[in-house]
């Protein structure tokens, strides 16, 4: 096996590895206890405000839709908003 073929094979292994890491990171973040919207707005936010922000963030959609949107954003270099 030539070095070029070996390198090509190794590079092709990167794609599923990154995909699995991305899915695992998404699922771990979703498994955290608590509500991200309540953490952002605080306990005194109205139900309408919570619902509006949940809709804006896509948290009212299915998990599969959220995962697909996350993977599309990451593929385009958008790693999300840092709240730190």
Work out the average pLDDT over 8-26.
93
pTM of structure = 0.73
In the predicted structure, residue 80 carries a pLDDT above the cut 70: yes
Where are the chain's structural domains? 16-75
**Beta carbons within 8 Å of 80's beta carbon, 6+ residues apart:** 73
From 28, 56, 30, select the one nearest 41 (Cα to Cα).
56
Question: Percent of the chain having pLDDT more than 70?
Answer: 98
Q: In the numeric block, which tokens belong to residue 50?
A: 């919570």
Q: What average pLDDT does range 39-55 have in this prediction?
A: 93
Q: Which of 45, 48, 56 is nearest to 81 (CA)?
A: 56
């Amino acid at each position: 096996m030539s070095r070029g073929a070996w390198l090509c094979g190794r590079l092709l292994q990167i794609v599923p590895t990154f995909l699995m890491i991305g899915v695992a990171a998404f699922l771990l973040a979703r498994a955290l206890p608590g509500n991200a919207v309540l953490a952002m707005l605080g306990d005194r936010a109205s139900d309408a405000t919570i619902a509006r922000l949940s809709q804006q963030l896509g948290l009212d959609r299915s998990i599969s839709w959220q995962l697909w949107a996350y993977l599309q954003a990451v593929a385009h270099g958008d790693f999300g908003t840092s709240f730190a």
